[in-house]
Amino acid sequence: VPPQMGPLAASVILLVVSAVRGFPYTELAQWVDSHQEEYVEALRDWVAVESDSSNVLKRPELHRMMEMVAQKLRQMGGTVELVDVGEQELPDGSTLALPKVVTAQFGNDSNKSTVCVYGHVDVQPAKLEDGWATEPYNLTDINGNLYGRGASDNKAPVLAWIHAVQAYQALDVELPVNVKFIIEGMEETGSNGLDAMIVAQRDTFFSEVDYIIISDCGWLSRRPAITYGTRGNCYFYAEVEGPKKDLHSGVYGGAVVEPMVDLIGIMDTLISPSGKILIPGIREAVAPLSDEEWKMYQDIQFDMDNYKDKIGVSQLMYNNKVDLLAHLWRYPTVSIHGIEGAFSDPGTKTVIPAKVTAKFSIRQVPNMDPAAVKKQVTEYLHSVFAKRKSPNKLKVTMVIGAKPWLADTQHVLYEAGKAAVKRVFQMDPDLIREGGTIPVAKFQDVTGKSIVMLPIGGFDDGLHSQNEKISRYNYIEGTKLFIAYLNEVSQIT
């Protein structure tokens, strides 16, 4: 540096030179490294908001969370809107305002591609007494891991995207593509209101969008991953109703046909001990596993023992990697989640509940159709129940019907992802599918745009579980990945 030139001027010249030369990845990455404490503080502020979408009493927190997101994007000079998506009807018939959906836009150059980043800032419920080692809504840094509810799912990834755009702005590097954001607050409870909004904005907000990017997912191992498929979800309530009120088991036990016994009896017919779904028609609808797919699963980095240790079990349903991954990603399963109306408090209570409702779900895979599954499950449970010749009444309802999603790993968006991972992490990514359900299919069906899932969450982040975290490494390097990815997408012709 010549003596008359200060370090700032020198760095500006360096930047200009490298911008002329091409994409200034190194300078952008250095900017991210030097601002990581700021990024951690931003995450701390967001995690402190108890934006639990399942708890109606927390709804004011959710509204506040959406305002914070909008404010952050406004401060960066984005064109920001808080879109009203209506009201939610509660089981008692009353209504409650849904959190507004935040949309934002940076750049509107018609010569550039436009990407739309989807994310959510609502979280699963969490309480210290659930078994957390730290306060769930107080971001706690332990050995480079940032613990807090929503840290990985999905607050840090949303912030990483925002910080990626901010880095370009801070260094006065032109965004290589136009960037839009759509951030919602009801993802954890089925994205209530989002469907109608996507339909309403198909020809406005989404009209010039070329690609949709979702980062609401995680890696499978220490190797970075790109996700090309998710399972859908059909969620059911099965309600058995008997006497008009709860009864004492000593006084009435043996005289009445108990709803709980009926309910447990029919639930036991959904799936075998070996994991085979017993509902007719479901297994027949599943797309067969191709040789090529089998080979892809074979090459994926996945540690079975680590996986067992992480969830704390001595045995899994399958004892080889390919079978296990296939049953996590591309085969359906039935899970029974709980029984409402049953006695579940500590202690002993000799009660015969008058009405009990089982909650269970079936994860959807190609080529299953939620409407067909609804019919199959309803008819099957009624037929099983009829054989019991019970005087009680059965009612089956499907409350969520989300489709699965599958992308082509040879698509240009995935090629761009592979190149970005290679630049940031100096390795090829694993191409993986996701067992969970994300509203990807909604975007696909309505907008017709190509979608990529680009995760930065770690394989051991504990989403939906106690002690959820994101590592500093994934948060910071993930921000660099998003910076690199925007550049790679701009190269698509």
Which of these three, 356, 381, 402, is where a domain ends?
A: 402
In this structure, what token pair is assigned to residue 401? Answer: 């019907």
Domain membership of residue 14 (yes or no) is no
Q: Cα–Cα distance between 217 and 154 in angstroms, integer? A: 8
Q: Residue range 417-442: average pLDDT?
A: 92
Q: 3-state DSSP call for residue 4?
A: coil
Is there a single domain that holds both residue 397 and residue 261?
A: yes
Which residues partner with 483 through β-bridges?
A: none
Whether 320 is in a domain gets the answer no
Q: In this structure, is residue 184 part of a structural domain?
A: yes
Quick check: is 6 in a domain? no
273 shares a domain with 218: no
Under DSSP, the state recorded for 258 is: -
pLDDT digits (tens, 9 = 90+) for 461-484: 998 899 999 999 999 999 999 999
Give pLDDT tens digits for 5-46: 555 554 554 444 444 458 999 999 999 999 999 999 999 999
Mean pLDDT, residues 441-454 taken together: 90
Same domain? For 223 and 241 the reply is no
Annotation marks residue 428 as catalytic: no
Is residue 444 located within the same domain as residue 385? no
Q: How far is CA 55 from the centre of its chain?
A: 18
381 sits in which H/E element = helix 370-387
Residue 253 has pLDDT above 80, yes or no: yes
CATH number for the domain spanning 387: value is 3.30.70.360
**Angle (deg, nearest 10), helices 304-311 and 321-329:** 50
**Domain for residue 71, yes or no?**
yes
Q: Rounded to 5 degrees, what are φ and ψ at 189? A: -120, 25
pLDDT digits (tens, 9 = 90+) for 95-151: 999 999 999 999 999 999 999 999 999 999 999 999 999 999 999 999 999 999 999
Q: What would the mean pLDDT of 270-298 be, rounded to a whole number?
A: 95
pLDDT at 18 (0 to 100): 43
Domain end (from 357, 372, 402): 402
Residue 434 lies in a domain: yes
Same domain, 225 and 240: no
What tokens appear for 258 in the block?
A: 């108990």
Q: Are residues 197 and 143 in the same domain?
A: yes
Which one of 50, 61, 122, 188 is the catalytic residue?
Answer: 122
440 pLDDT above the threshold of 80:
no
Q: What percent of the chain has pLDDT over 70?
A: 96
**150: CATH:** 3.40.630.10
Q: Is pLDDT at 362 greater than 60 in this prediction? A: yes
Domain shared by 113 and 240, yes or no: no
Q: What is the mean pLDDT of residues 251-270?
A: 98
The Cβ-side half-sphere exposure at 390, using a 13 Å CA radius, reads: 24
Contact 116, 105 (CB under 8 A): no
Structure tokens given for 397? 């309802």
Query: Whole-prediction pTM value?
Result: 0.87
Q: Which of 187, 188, 258, 461 is catalytic?
A: 187
Any domain includes 7 = no
Confidence class for position 91, pLDDT limits 50, 70, 90: confident
Looking at residue 17, what is its pLDDT? 44
Residue 219 confidence (pLDDT) above 70: yes
Please, is 97 exposed, middle or buried when counting C-beta atoms within 10 Å of its C-beta (0-12, 13-18, 19+)? middle
Of 7-16, 309-318, 421-430, which gets the smallest average pLDDT? 7-16
CA distance 87 to 76: 30
DSSP 25-86: HHHHHHHHHHTHHHHHHHHHHHHTS--BTT-GGGHHHHHHHHHHHHHHHHHTT-EEEEE---
**At 446, which amino acid appears?**
V
User: Phi-psi bin for 27: left (phi > 0), alpha (psi -120 to 50), beta?
Assistant: alpha
CA torsion sign for 309, 313, 316, 317 is negative
Determine whether 122 is an active site residue.
Answer: yes
Structurally, the chain folds into a number of domains equal to: 2
Residues 204, 251, single domain; the answer is no
Looking at the structure, tell me whether residues 141 and 47 fall in a common domain. yes
- Both 416 and 474 in one domain: the answer is yes
Claim to verify: residue 408 and residue 453 sit in the same structural domain: yes
Phi, psi of 236, deg, nearest 5: -120, 150
- Residue 1 is assigned to a structural domain of this protein: no
pLDDT of residue 288 exceeding 90, the answer is: yes
The parent domain of residue 427 ranges over: 25-230+404-491
Last residue of a domain, one of 377, 402, 427: 402
CA-based angle 402:403:408, to the nearest 5?
145
Residues 178 and 31 in one domain: yes
CA-based angle 233:335:379, to the nearest 5?
75
- Is there a contact between 51 and 122 (Cβ–Cβ < 8 Å)? yes
What letter represents residue 282's amino acid? I
Question: Residue 492 in contact with residue 34, Cβ under 8 Å?
Answer: no
Tens-digit pLDDT profile for residues 314-332: 999 999 999 999 999 999 9
